């Protein structure tokens, strides 16, 4: 990844316009050649605006002196500036757009990669709307600033510098006055800058809240219609919009005041300098042409100061957006390969949980789990909701690391092996296995990118979905649509099983794989799973007790492993499992 945005030490510094510019410079650094062209292309525009007053001075003085050759020379010089300006301006716009697009793509790729590598615990506490807003409105603000505002501000700064230098060459006294007063132009923006940056950050955050509410309302449309929640959610959305309105007004006001302080200071500077030039001209210390050139240069400098003030507001929004993007890029990954992590050898003996504790946000989830699962065993993990069943699987898959204790395979602490080699040994089927908006073939191949078409079809046959796929309009090359919407729930789950099987895993992990289906589809999926589980170590989590073909049943309660045995042993024990079994059968008899 090329994005290098992780150097800011604190959130407060991230929100500053200066730190945004520093981050933007680091982003542009790989494209310094292209950016050099942007700088060079701004020179003709500066030349047009700065050389024009000088040529105008020559022209007026020549007219006053009736020097016809110098008049023609000055006129031809003015005309020659036009094609130079047009060519430079085109090159400036093209290269600035190119650099901006390259930098924005780098940011998007870096943020996308970071989101994929962050742990489950990071995603657990954030809404999709908030994360999506960082990819949309936040990145759009940054892209606009890099493509338009920063190059434009750079051009303005070059123009101001050249204008001041020419002022000193034409009339050094007025030039000194200008240089003396210019620092006062910076005082107001600097004082307002921190407040404007913080207000911009808050505005971007509130916009993300609105985006999250909108995304949630779309996802929950059926629930909203069913329970007539439109009015309640409309009122809540209105309150969020009111918050966004207030933060937008505050951010715009502070950014506007920051820009106004620049333009106002520039106007005062212009008036004072004009008065000074007029005094010098009356005293004969400045020629008519020189006076016109000074006024033109002053106007040019102040115009660029005003133009510079207009990019302050969008750059403040971009600084808030950059801060929010950096929050993702700086986030702790949580689960990373240790230095020197080795490849996990093929599974040969046992999986062990040794005094495993786990919790997040100060909430204990697992407490002192001690467990051994032998190769070839079929294990069923049951327990009440919130007992830690899925968390146990998450630690085995190393979606998170234990707070204390060790999870190991064949004596290898999972923290000492590479995540890729660990997950290569496993095939996983979740309760709601997501299917991507691509072909059936590619959805299955995601389980093993090296799989041949023959291996994909073999996995589909084992999962009992080959005939359904073959009957689709384009067979395995049929595009499923977002989430696999063109298939039924049971069919989607079978594709997910095929995706797990194409890895040829030694360990098969099942997290409520059929609980969202109707009874008939669930029974069919369970038969398929029993068939494909032969010769593999199977670890399944379920809340519907199905002890058939299970070697051992592990019972979780309040984060602890409280019972371990066969169905008959646990029924005879008369503990938690027996209560769950009795409750399930009572519910079934009522139905």
Give pLDDT tens digits for 561-587: 998 988 888 888 888 888 888 877 665
pLDDT for 9 equals 34
pLDDT at 176 over 70: yes
Closest CA to 149 of 59, 24, 249: 24
pLDDT for 587 equals 56
Residue 558 host element (H or E): none
Give pLDDT tens digits for 307-330: 776 777 778 778 877 888 877 777
pLDDT for 354 equals 94
Residues 6+ apart with CB under 8 A from 226: none
Tokens found for residue 85: 């300006």
| CA 525 to centroid of chain Cα atoms | 37
- Across the range 282-304, mean pLDDT stands at 74
- Across the range 524-550, mean pLDDT stands at 75
Per-residue pLDDT band for 589 (boundaries 50, 70, 90) equals low
| Cα–Cα distance measured from residue 2 to residue 11, given in angstroms and rounded to the nearest whole number | 22
pLDDT for 383 equals 85
pLDDT for 168 equals 80
- CA 360, 365, 370, 371 dihedral sign is negative
Residues 6+ apart with CB under 8 A from 231: none
pLDDT for 3 equals 42
| Cα–Cα distance measured from residue 402 to residue 549, given in angstroms and rounded to the nearest whole number | 30
pLDDT for 371 equals 92
140-144, 149-153, 394-398, 546-550: the lowest-pLDDT one = 546-550
| Cα–Cα distance measured from residue 530 to residue 527, given in angstroms and rounded to the nearest whole number | 5
Give pLDDT tens digits for 201-220: 788 778 878 877 777 776 66
pLDDT at 352 over 90: yes
- Across the range 327-352, mean pLDDT stands at 85
Rounded mean pLDDT of the chain? Answer: 78
pLDDT for 517 equals 61
Give pLDDT tens digits for 2-31: 444 333 333 333 346 677 777 778 888 888
Residue 212 host element (H or E): helix 172-219
pLDDT at 516 over 60: no
pLDDT for 544 equals 67
What is the residue-wise DSSP string for 140-189? Answer: HHHHHIIIIIHHHHHHHHHHHHHHHHHHHHH-HHHHHHHHHHHHHHHHHH
503 or 308, greater pLDDT: 503
pLDDT for 8 equals 36
Averaging pLDDT over each range in 51-60, 186-195, 389-398, 536-545, which range is the top one? 389-398
- 3-state class of 400 per DSSP? coil
465 or 47, greater pLDDT: 465
Q: Calculate the dihedral angle through the C-alpha atoms of 489, 490, 492, 496, rounding to the nearest 10 degrees.
A: 130
Closest CA to 567 of 392, 383, 380: 380
Residues 6+ apart with CB under 8 A from 86: none
Residue with tokens 């510019």: 21
Task: Give the residue ranges of DSSP H helices in 486-575.
Answer: 489-501, 519-532, 567-573
Averaging pLDDT over each range in 21-30, 268-277, 490-499, which range is the top one? 490-499
| Cα–Cα distance measured from residue 545 to residue 537, given in angstroms and rounded to the nearest whole number | 19
Residue 341: left if φ>0, alpha if ψ -120 to 50, beta else—which one?
beta
Neighbour tally for 475: CB within 10 Å: 14
Per-residue pLDDT band for 263 (boundaries 50, 70, 90) equals low
Q: What is the pTM of this model?
A: 0.65
pLDDT for 12 equals 36
| Cα–Cα distance measured from residue 428 to residue 399, given in angstroms and rounded to the nearest whole number | 12
123 or 156, greater pLDDT: 156
pLDDT for 140 equals 80
- Across the range 399-425, mean pLDDT stands at 90
């Amino acid at each position: 990844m090329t994005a290098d945005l992780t150097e800011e030490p604190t959130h407060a510094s991230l929100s500053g316009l200066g730190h945004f510019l520093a981050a933007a410079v680091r982003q542009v650094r790989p494209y310094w050649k292209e950016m050099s062209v942007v700088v060079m292309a701004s020179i003709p525009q500066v030349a047009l605006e700065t050389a024009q007053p000088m040529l105008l001075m020559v022209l007026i003085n020549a007219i006053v002196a009736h020097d016809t050759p110098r008049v023609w020379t000055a006129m031809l010089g003015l005309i020659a500036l036009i094609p130079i300006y047009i060519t430079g301006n085109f090159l400036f716009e093209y290269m600035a757009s190119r650099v901006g697009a390259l930098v924005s793509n780098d940011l998007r790729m870096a943020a996308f990669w970071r989101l994929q590598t962050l742990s489950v615990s990071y995603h657990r506490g954030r809404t999709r709307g908030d994360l999506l807003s960082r990819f949309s409105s936040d990145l759009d603000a940054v892209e606009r600033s890099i493509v338009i505002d920063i190059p434009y501000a750079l051009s303005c700064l070059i123009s101001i510098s050249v204008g001041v230098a020419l002022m000193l060459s034409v009339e050094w006294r007025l030039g000194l006055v200008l240089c003396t007063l210019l620092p006062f132009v910076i005082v107001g923006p600097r004082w307002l800058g921190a407040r404007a940056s913080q207000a911009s950050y808050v505005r971007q955050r509130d916009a993300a809240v609105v985006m999250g509410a909108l995304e949630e309302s779309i996802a929950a449309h059926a629930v909203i219609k069913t329970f007539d929640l439109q009015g309640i959610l409309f009122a809540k959305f209105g309150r969020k919009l009111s918050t966004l309105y207030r933060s937008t007004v505050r951010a715009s006001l502070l950014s506007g005041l920051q820009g106004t302080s620049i333009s106002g200071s520039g106007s005062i500077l212009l008036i004072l300098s004009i008065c000074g030039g007029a005094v010098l001209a009356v005293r004969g210390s400045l020629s008519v042409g020189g006076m016109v050139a000074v006024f033109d240069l002053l106007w040019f400098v102040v115009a660029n100061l005003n133009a510079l003030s207009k990019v302050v507001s969008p750059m403040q929004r971009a600084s808030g957006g950059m801060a929010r993007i950096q929050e993702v890029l700086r986030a702790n990954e949580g689960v990373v390969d240790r230095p020197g992590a080795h490849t996990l050898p093929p599974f040969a003996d046992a999986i062990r949980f040794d005094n495993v504790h786990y919790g997040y946000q100060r909430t204990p989830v697992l407490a002192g789990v001690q467990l051994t699962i032998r190769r070839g065993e079929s294990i069923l993990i049951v327990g009440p909701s919130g007992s830690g069943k899925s968390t146990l699987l998450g630690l085995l898959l190393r979606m998170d690391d234990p707070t204390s204790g060790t999870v190991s395979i064949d004596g290898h602490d999972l923290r000492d092996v590479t995540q890729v080699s660990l997950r290569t040994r496993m095939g996983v089927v979740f309760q709601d296995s997501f299917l991507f908006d691509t072909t059936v073939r590619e959805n299955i191949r995601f389980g093993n990118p090296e799989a041949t078409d023959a291996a994909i079809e073999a996995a589909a046959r084992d999962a009992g979905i080959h005939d359904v796929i073959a009957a689709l309009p384009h067979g395995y090359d049929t595009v499923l649509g977002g989430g696999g919407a063109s298939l039924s729930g049971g069919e989607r789950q079978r594709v997910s099983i095929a995706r797990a099987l194409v890895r040829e895993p030694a360990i098969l992990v099942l997290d409520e794989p059929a609980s969202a289906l109707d009874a008939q589809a669930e029974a069919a999926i369970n038969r398929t799973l029993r068939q494909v589980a032969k010769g593999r170590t199977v670890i399944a989590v379920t809340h519907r007790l199905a002890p058939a073909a299970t070697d051992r049943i592990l019972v979780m309660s309040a984060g602890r492993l409280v019972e371990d045995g066969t169905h008959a042993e646990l029924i005879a024990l008369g503990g938690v499992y027996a209560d769950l079994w009795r409750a399930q059968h009572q519910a079934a008899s009522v139905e």
